[in-house]
Amino acid sequence: MSGKNKKIGVLLGGLSKEREVSLRSGRAVAVALRARGYDVVEIDAVRDLPERLKVEGVDVAFVALHGRYGEDGTVQGLLEVMGIPYTGSGPLASAVGMDKELTKKLLVSEMGDEITTPVWKVIRRAGGSPPLPLPVIVKPNREGSTIGISVVRDEKDFAPAVEQALALDETVLVEEFVTGTEVTVAMVSGRALPIVEIAPKSGFYDYASKYTKGATDYIVPARIPDSLRDRLQKTSETIWKVLKLAGFARMDFIGEYFLEVNTVPGMTETSLVPKAAAAAGIAFEDLCEEVLKGASLKI
């Protein structure tokens, strides 16, 4: 469904708080696909998206959207209804992957001892004391790019952290603070790529560390024992199967602890999945084309 005689719509921008990151991802993908001879149109996925898809005559959609209304199954459901094949995971897998609490529950239930994840509690209203021993991580249940996340080391900072997260989502995750080497496992078509180590100079991989040039060092392959590397790659491939993911994705870990899955990871040439692909000898244009060739309807 992704032949060069078809109109490829790269969906970018969108309505989430990750809009700016998505614009960068989508533009990079569009440039790469045009370089390979594809007929590409960039479409800002806002409220008029159905009309734009019709007017532009899009045959296949490359989803380069991050966050709500793009990574959470809503756009995927729209494309299913419109009969437009698209890249990445389907509506159900996307919705589950966006929900950190549901992802954890499902993976722990299905994988048992095969997966280790930080202990967590769920909060749905402000007030109260930390439900876990400090320090803890407080984060919105359905946001990406570490938006709204806080490290709480003092009890007086807990309530403000919860209020900040509740402003972004009705459900807040409170996780135990775990330490270790932060790494990510990129997945393409169900196979794990070389692991990337994330070393923020601030000591915490927040939004600024992610998107400020020079704020974080990325080392690939990660400086971890071979045994841990093999375990994390195997775990990621199992997560892929359990969640029924498709196209490409990224699993984030601290040491052996699974944190979350990203079903539409960043796709600029300096993003983590392209870094992992490059370490495996896959050029950025090849990566984009492989993801595109996997476009399909999932329902």
Q: What local confidence, expressed as pLDDT, does residue 298 receive?
A: 96
Whether the CB-CB separation of 126 and 162 falls below 8 Å is answered with yes
Whether 211 is a known active-site residue: answer: yes
Whether 170 is a known active-site residue: answer: no
Domains, the chain, in order of start with CATH, read 7-88 (3.40.50.20), 96-116+179-285 (3.30.470.20), 120-176 (3.30.1490.20)
Residues in the chain with pLDDT values less than 70 = 1-2, 145, 202-212, 269
Q: Which of 18, 59, 99, 289 is catalytic?
A: 18
Whether 260 is a known active-site residue: answer: yes
Distances 294 to 65, 186, 241 between C-alpha atoms, Å? 17, 16, 16
Whether 69 is a known active-site residue: answer: no
Q: What local confidence, expressed as pLDDT, does residue 200 receive?
A: 80
Whether 252 is a known active-site residue: answer: yes
Whether 205 is a known active-site residue: answer: no
Q: What residues pair up with 61 in beta bridges, in sequence order? A: 9, 86
Question: How many beta carbons lie within 10 A of that of residue 228, not counting itself?
Answer: 17
Q: What local confidence, expressed as pLDDT, does residue 64 receive?
A: 98
Looking from the CA of 183 toward its CB, the CA atoms found within 13 Å total 29
Whether 18 is a known active-site residue: answer: yes
Q: Which of 16, 94, 150, 262 is catalytic?
A: 262
- Residue 67 and residue 16: Cα distance in Å, rounded? 6
Whether 109 is a known active-site residue: answer: no
pTM score, two decimals? 0.93
